[in-house]
Amino acid sequence: MSNHFQDILVHAENGVMTITINRVDKKNSITSVMYAALADAIESAHHDPAVRAVVIQGHESVFSAGNDIADFLNKPPSTPDSPVFRFLRGISSFPKPLVAAVCGPAVGIGTTMLLHCDLVYAGDNAAFSMPFVNLGLCPEAASSFLVPQLMGYPRAAEALLLGEPFTAETALEIGLINRIVPPLEANVLAQKQALKLAAKPFTSLLETKRLMKKNNVGIVAERMAEEGASFGRMLQEPAAREAFTAFMEKRKPDFSKI
């Protein structure tokens, strides 16, 4: 059984806040309680002058299986203030450097949250996927804008329409990640890079990140809100209900009548 209080670990030291997704028995899938903890941590990092960089990491065997499916069925995010949307707004508008370490499966938001990180280090076992369509849903985290922008439309269509997984090598080639390392080294490298960032002139870091992100800021916020409204509605519809029920019943979904 997962202990809610341990599912998200937050530790701040030497200017770096490290947020660990720590629910390995459920493949680090994220419940609304966990999203709230993630959103709170990001908000506190935003406002705490002692925090100059943030690391988001999982376990060497799994980064995150995405939304906790049962929790999503029971407590669908229905308003813009829902924890998942709060978390996404928090990372997409986070002004300080955000570093991620990703090993094993990174499903759904496990991949899309990386679009908002500045540096991403992946284990060679990382497997990225955005199977929103397969789940009767649509993209979130502004991925419908950022994924085609990053990898070009044809590859984005494979990733988002077919929901096909891709490897760390592909992620490196398309520019989603910075480097591939042995899984046990990913968290260590992310920490090392975050410490390097934390030692740099802070105002220069903030201004450089702001300038690099400037062209996307408005469209990302707008797209995220539009996706969120569709995602929330689609969660209640038959295709998502069938996909989620099938996952829990450990069978293939049947969309033939939907």
Closest to 129 measured CA to CA, from 161, 98, 97, 153: 161
- Residues 34 and 8: their CA atoms lie apart, in Å, by 6
The minimum distance between CB 166 and ligand COA, in angstroms, equals 14
If the CB atoms of residues 17 and 69 are measured against ligand COA, the closer one turns out to be 69
Q: Which residue type, as a one-letter code, is found at position 228? A: G
53: Cβ–Cβ under 8 A, 6 or more apart, which residues? 15, 16, 17, 96, 97, 98, 99, 194, 195, 197, 198
Among 23-31, 84-92, 142-150, 223-231, the segment contacting ligand COA (CB under 6 A): 23-31
The minimum distance between CB 104 and ligand COA, in angstroms, equals 8
| Interface residue with ligand COA, options 60, 68, 118, 242 (CB under 6 A) | 68
| Interface residue with ligand COA, options 131, 183, 232, 253 (CB under 6 A) | 131
Binders of ligand COA among residues 36 to 65 (CB under 6 A) are: 65
Site string for ligand COA, 82-111 (x = CB under 6 A): -----------------------x-xx---
The minimum distance between CB 53 and ligand COA, in angstroms, equals 28
Give exposure, 188-214, as e/b (b: 16+ Cβ within 10 Å).
ebbbebbbebbeeebeebeeebeeebe
Binding-site size, ligand COA (CB under 6 A) = 14
If the CB atoms of residues 45 and 88 are measured against ligand COA, the closer one turns out to be 88
Do 43 and 35 touch, CB atoms closer than 8 A? no
The minimum distance between CB 140 and ligand COA, in angstroms, equals 8
**Residue 32 makes contact with ligand COA by CB under 6 A:** no
**Residue 66 makes contact with ligand COA by CB under 6 A:** yes
* Alpha carbon distances (Å) from 239 to 141, 234, 249: 21, 8, 15
**Residue 114 makes contact with ligand COA by CB under 6 A:** no
The minimum distance between CB 198 and ligand COA, in angstroms, equals 32
| Interface residue with ligand COA, options 135, 138, 156, 235 (CB under 6 A) | 135
Closest to 171 measured CA to CA, from 98, 69, 89, 100: 100
Do 72 and 33 touch, CB atoms closer than 8 A? no
Binders of ligand COA among residues 217 to 246 (CB under 6 A) are: none
If the CB atoms of residues 167 and 208 are measured against ligand COA, the closer one turns out to be 167
The minimum distance between CB 185 and ligand COA, in angstroms, equals 22
The minimum distance between CB 95 and ligand COA, in angstroms, equals 27
- Residues 34 and 65: their CA atoms lie apart, in Å, by 13
Name the residues that contact ligand COA, by CB under 6 A: 26-27, 29, 65-70, 105, 107-108, 131, 135
